């Protein structure tokens, strides 16, 4: 592989700084163990700057002088926004293309998925029977009137779901569906995904929309495990296809002063070693085929993912936001 030849050359000549610099919106604890393993294997140091917000503005301000080589972030919305801002460059790698399915990478090579998370339904163990809800379309059924909780409709997670719905059903049907979901809400949209599970535990609603990895986070939090134990996960299908998923991912910056080392790290993050670590540390689904899930994630059950490319869903985000605003979902 060309990248491995580059690494050998860099090490033997000592002509390049053996480092990679990352701007990351992911909490350090979620990625540090993976990066430390990369350094141990290659000798390349990885420096991470955690940026909860303002990443695009910082990259724009730094321009060609930016020390950042890579961006790590979550959600197709954030990946697409970084690319749209013109602060990334395309990467061509046979290794990444072999490891990450085309559905989860940019056709032009500007972003690549690393892990996925399903946006599923949390259902009360006491008040919702197995098989009582099986599709996202069911969320608009009168059966669920006054029984649904969710976070804001304008949050990236829900915008992506609405965009995916539109990809399958079109604009008019999506607006009708979302209006129906709004009619079924037990309360105005509020809080984060874990707050919805807490509301089910408290009896405020019976089902909620949320990402899978929050179940893992709650199960490992003594203050929240009771919430987690009050629900079960339902993997609904969309348009008869599969479960809507989103991802965490990476992109190379336009400046990338350590380009070759950055490519090596990108390839490593898609490798079996790194994907296994992601699975254990983050309660997420690895994208490399054949990578084992963590025992906890595997216990939630199997599902088929919606096959709609994330790039297509991202292209419909503007439409999805307009639909959310037209139905006044948060009102």
- From first to last of its 331 residues, the chain has per-residue pLDDT tens of 334 434 444 444 444 559 999 999 988 887 999 999 999 999 999 999 999 899 999 999 999 999 999 999 999 999 999 999 999 999 999 999 999 999 999 999 999 999 999 999 999 999 999 999 999 999 999 999 999 999 999 999 999 999 999 999 999 999 999 999 999 999 999 999 999 999 999 999 999 999 999 999 999 999 999 999 999 999 999 999 999 999 999 999 999 999 999 999 999 999 999 999 988 888 999 999 999 999 999 999 999 999 999 999 999 999 999 999 999 999 9
231 plus 289 within the same structural domain: no
131 plus 219 within the same structural domain: yes
Rounded Cα distance between 257 and 17, Å, is 10
138 plus 74 within the same structural domain: no
171 plus 230 within the same structural domain: yes
Other CB atoms within 10 Å distance of the CB of residue 206: 22
Q: Label residue 187 exposed, middle or buried (CB < 10 Å: 0-12, 13-18, 19+).
A: middle
Cβ proximity of 243 and 226 under 8 Å: no
Cβ proximity of 70 and 250 under 8 Å: yes
- According to DSSP, residue 292 is labeled P
Q: Look at residue 48 and give its three-state secondary structure.
A: strand
Is the residue at 185 inside a domain?
A: yes
243 phi, psi to nearest 5 deg: -80, 135
Number of domains in the chain: 2
208 plus 131 within the same structural domain: yes
226 phi, psi to nearest 5 deg: -65, -35
Q: Label residue 127 exposed, middle or buried (CB < 10 Å: 0-12, 13-18, 19+).
A: middle
CA-wise closest residue to 158 among 188, 131, 185, 192 = 192
311 plus 219 within the same structural domain: yes
- According to DSSP, residue 142 is labeled G
Strands (E), 147-284: 148-149, 207-211, 231-234, 245-253
Helix/strand/coil percent split, the chain, to 5: 45, 20, 35
What was the pLDDT predicted at 51?
94
What was the pLDDT predicted at 114?
96
211 plus 134 within the same structural domain: yes
What was the pLDDT predicted at 27?
81
**Domain, as residue range, for 136:** 118-244+304-326
Q: What is the CA radius of gyration of the chain?
A: 21
Cβ proximity of 201 and 126 under 8 Å: no
Structure tokens at 260: 């070759």
193 plus 270 within the same structural domain: no
125 plus 217 within the same structural domain: yes
Question: Domain containing 55 — which CATH number?
Answer: 3.40.190.10
Rounded Cα distance between 194 and 208, Å, is 10
């Amino acid at each position: 592989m060309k990248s491995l030849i580059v690494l050998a050359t860099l090490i033997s000549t000592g002509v390049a700084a053996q480092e990679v610099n990352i701007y990351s919106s992911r909490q350090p604890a979620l990625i540090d163990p993976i990066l430390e393993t990369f350094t141990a294997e290659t000798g390349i140091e990885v420096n991470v700057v955690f940026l909860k917000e303002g990443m695009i503005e910082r990259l724009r301000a730094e321009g060609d002088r930016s020390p950042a080589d890579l961006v790590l972030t979550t959600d197709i919305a954030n990946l697409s926004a970084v690319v749209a801002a013109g602060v990334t460059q395309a990467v061509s790698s046979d290794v990444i293309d072999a490891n990450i399915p085309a559905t989860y990478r940019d056709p032009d090579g500007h972003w690549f998925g690393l892990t996925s998370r399903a946006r599923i339904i949390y259902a009360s163990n006491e008040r919702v029977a197995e098989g009582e809800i099986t599709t996202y379309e069911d969320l608009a059924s009168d059966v669920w009137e006054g029984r649904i909780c969710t976070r804001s409709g304008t949050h990236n997670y829900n915008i992506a779901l609405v965009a995916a719905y539109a990809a399958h059903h079109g604009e008019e049907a999506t607006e009708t569906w979302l209006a129906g979901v709004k009619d079924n809400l037990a309360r105005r949209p509020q809080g984060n995904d874990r707050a919805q599970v807490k509301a089910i535990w408290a009896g405020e609603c019976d089902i909620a929309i949320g990402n899978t990895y929050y179940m893992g986070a709650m199960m490992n939090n003594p203050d929240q495990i009771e919430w987690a134990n009050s629900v079960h996960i339902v993997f609904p299908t969309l348009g008869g296809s599969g479960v809507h998923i989103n991802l965490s991912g990476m992109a190379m910056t336009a400046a990338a002063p350590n380009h070759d080392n950055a490519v090596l790290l990108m390839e490593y993050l898609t490798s079996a070693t790194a994907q296994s670590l992601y699975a254990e540390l983050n309660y997420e689904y690895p994208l490399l085929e054949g990578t084992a899930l963590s025992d906890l994630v595997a216990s939630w059950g199997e599902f088929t993912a919606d096959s709609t490319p994330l790039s297509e869903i991202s292209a419909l985000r503007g439409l999805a936001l307009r639909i959310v605003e037209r139905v006044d979902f948060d009102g």
